[in-house]
Amino acid sequence: MRGALALFLTLYLLRALVAEANSALSGAHIWLFAGGLYVAYSALMLPFREGFAASLLGGLLCDSVAPLAFGTQTAVFAAAHVAVYGVRERLQRDETPVRLAVALIANLAFFLALSFARLRLVPAPATAWPRMLSDLLWSEAAVAAAGPWFFALQARTLELARAHGAHPA
């Protein structure tokens, strides 16, 4: 479980950075969603139990700050984790572009799923779609830009955690 906790630390950092970016961009009517990055690396690179635990913890972290039924994003992340894990042997998962593609597709799927879940609260749903599409485009761009750095950070954090675990001081 050391790997899951190490990955959770990186997800904690990601949430903090995204929240600060959203706070700073609120005046410009831009909002970023990076759900795909919470699942991609753990589903592609970690053994099932560790990766699944990291995705669940990441989902709970996102759920705690969102006005959704607690567990909604956790369930969506868990389902996506299982789906990606199921096909990972058919992918060149050591390649960053492949990881990035998985993160982008997962991000798109999460965003659309949550949009449909939230849309029932909007008095005129048709008027809300332009903003949601704008948020989706910005989010995909942000995931594409930050993805390689974030995967490198996760890989390095895992290395450090495992090295520390192999040679305790």
Partner 1 sequence: MRFGQSQRFDQARPFVALGVALAAWLVAPVALRTFARASFFEMTAPITAAASYASDLQRFWALRLHSKEQLIEAGRDLARLDASYSLSIQQNSELQAEVERLQALLHMPPADHYRFEHARVAQRDFSGWWQRMVIRKGKDYRIPVGAPVVYGGGVVGRVAEVHAYTSVVELTSNPGLRIAAVVDGDTRPISYQGAENPVFGAARGVVEFLPLDVYASATAPKRLATSGLGGVFPPGLTIGRIVHVESSADGLFKTGEVALDPRLAELTEVTVLVAENPG
- Entry field: residues in the chain: 169
Q: Does 140 bind partner 1 (CB under 8 A)?
A: no
Among the listed ranges 94-102, 125-133, 141-149, 156-164, the one in contact with partner 1 (CB under 8 A) is 125-133
The nearer residue to partner 1, 93 or 118, going by C-beta atoms, is 118
Question: Cα angle vertex 18, ends 16, 21, to 5°?
Answer: 110
**Cα 101 from Cα 58, distance rounded (Å):** 20
* Residue from 101, 109, 118, 155 in contact with partner 1 (CB under 8 A): 118
| Nearest alpha-carbon partner for 44 in 90, 113, 108, 110 | 90
Pick between residue 79 and residue 148 the one whose CB is nearest to partner 1: 79
Distance CA 65, CA 15 (A): 10
| CB nearer to partner 1: pick between 20 and 95 | 20
DSSP 74-87: HHHHHHHHHHHHHH
In angstroms, the CA 36 to CA 101 distance is 10
64 binds partner 1 (CB under 8 A): yes
Task: Choose, by CB under 8 A, the member of 85, 110, 150, 151 that binds partner 1.
Answer: 85
- Taking each helix axis from N to C terminus, what angle separates 72-87 and 96-118, rounded to the nearest 10 degrees? 150
Residues that bind partner 1 (CB under 8 A): 12, 15-16, 19-20, 22-23, 26-27, 29, 31, 33, 48-49, 52, 56, 60-61, 63-67, 70-71, 74-75, 78-79, 81-82, 85-86, 114-115, 118, 121-124, 127-128, 130-132, 134-135
